[in-house]
Amino acid sequence: MRIGIIGCGVAGSVLAERLLRAPGITVEAYDRLPPDAVEDSGTGLNVGPNAMKALRLHLPARHDAVRAASLPWTRWFIDLASGRRLFDLPLAEVAEDAGIRLRWSELYRLLRAPVAGITRFGLELVAIEEDAVGRLVPVLQAADGARLRPRGYDLLVAGDGRYSALRALAAGPTTPSFHGIAMTRLLVPEAADCPYDDYGQWFNGNARLLSYRLPGGAAYIAGGFPLAAPEAEIPPEARTAAFQRALYTPETGAACPAVAWMVERLAAGVDSIHWARLQEAPLQRTAGAGRVLFLGDAAHAMVPTLGQGATQAIEDGIVAGAVLARGGGAEDVAAWRDTRVGFVRRFSLEATDTMFPGADPVAGSLAKREPEFLAKLRRLYTDVPRPEEFSQ
């Protein structure tokens, strides 16, 4: 079986490594970026305990390399901007493994390293053709305009992210659903004076900050606040230092030291903030009569509230690799993954409740200590198949 992977990001790299020595399978990967460049290289990332469990069980060497380059994610707390504690959860209560904190660029580097020999970089997918026996041939274009048409593949895998070229070509345009929340991301490279460490959230009304330290003395700050309507654009005035200060500073009383520190960094770095709107795309796993398989954000871009974007991409790569290695196809991957992904998507959106207009962030945060929410969190963090399950 010949498998071509388009996009050597998280899901694509994990899948490629899982299939490297699978008998009867030839795997090749293509990425539009040069080998020394990655998107989102300046932002931070938290990877959930479930992804680390999947790597530990199925790719232990990759697990060890990723964990060694990261800081542990062992705690989740929620405060008000004033400093009042609402929620404080040691992840050991609901997970078997610690999560991790690191930069996107470092995760890409670690996941791509073992598959560099089968990856061709600097090639963008521009079309799909068929060969004489019905296999799919990706048409790949280099920066100088030269085009490459490799031999046909029995299966093409989309690992090329939220704006997947392969999904657009094989399944048509994707219409995202917007949820009326503006999202910001900022890396603070020098954060020695950061007054907190592990994963925390702070609310001022429905405006929320999320932050944690990263390896190398950096810190990552993510913000979010409601927009006027679900489809509304981010207003220009929001992109100013004055707006960012007012957004997260309590109207009465002083901000706690953590929020005061973040507000100053947001104001000083306002021109470096990356902006987006909270959105998700419809789940689609296969196309082309089973000859195309979508993984990670190419299949199921979801809201980032529970940090499951890259986490689910890792799960996708692990499970798809196990299924394909035993002779399964794209529909078999869907059977293994899509019920799980549906639960994760619904739960991630449910956990966003405190950010929507009119919601009570105090009541919503306190509710996250209730047994029902914790049971779902435990299911999220532990429900990962073991290698022997794929041979049953």
pLDDT in tens, 154-183: 999 999 999 999 999 999 999 999 999 999
Among candidate residues 228, 233, 224, 229, the one with its CA nearest the CA of residue 202: 224
Residue 378 lies in a domain: yes
Write down the mean pLDDT value for the chain.
96
Q: Which long-range contacts (CB under 8 A, 24 or more apart) does 171-178 make?
A: 171/284, 171/287, 171/292, 171/294, 174/281, 174/282, 174/284, 175/281, 175/282, 176/279, 176/280, 176/281, 176/301, 177/279, 177/280, 177/281, 177/282, 178/230, 178/231, 178/277, 178/278, 178/279
CATH of the domain at 104: 3.50.50.60
Judged against a pLDDT cut of 70, whether residue 39 lies above it is answered with no
Residue 99 lies in a domain: yes
Domain with 355 in it: 2-175+280-391
Residue 83 lies in a domain: yes
Q: How many CB atoms lie within 10 A of CB 329?
A: 16
The band of 133, judged by pLDDT with boundaries at 50, 70 and 90, is very high
Residue 195 lies in a domain: no
Q: Could you report the per-residue pLDDT of 91-116, keeping only the tens digit for each?
A: 999 999 999 999 999 999 999 999 99
Judged against a pLDDT cut of 60, whether residue 48 lies above it is answered with yes
3-class state of residue 186 by DSSP? strand
pLDDT number for residue 42: 62
Residue 17 lies in a domain: yes
pLDDT number for residue 319: 98
Residue 165 lies in a domain: yes
Judged against a pLDDT cut of 60, whether residue 2 lies above it is answered with yes
Number of domains in the chain: 1
Question: Which of residues 21 and 128 earns the better pLDDT score?
Answer: 128
Q: Could you report the per-residue pLDDT of 327-360, keeping only the tens digit for each?
A: 999 999 999 999 999 999 999 999 999 999 889 9
Q: Could you report the per-residue pLDDT of 196-250, keeping only the tens digit for each?
A: 999 999 999 999 999 999 999 999 999 999 999 999 999 999 999 999 999 999 9
Q: How far apart are CA 54 and CA 386, in angstroms?
A: 8
pLDDT number for residue 41: 55
Residue 187 lies in a domain: no
Q: Tokens 């999904």 — which residue?
A: 167
Confidence (pTM): 0.97
Q: How far apart are CA 120 and CA 137, in angstroms?
A: 15
Residue 184 lies in a domain: no
pLDDT number for residue 288: 97
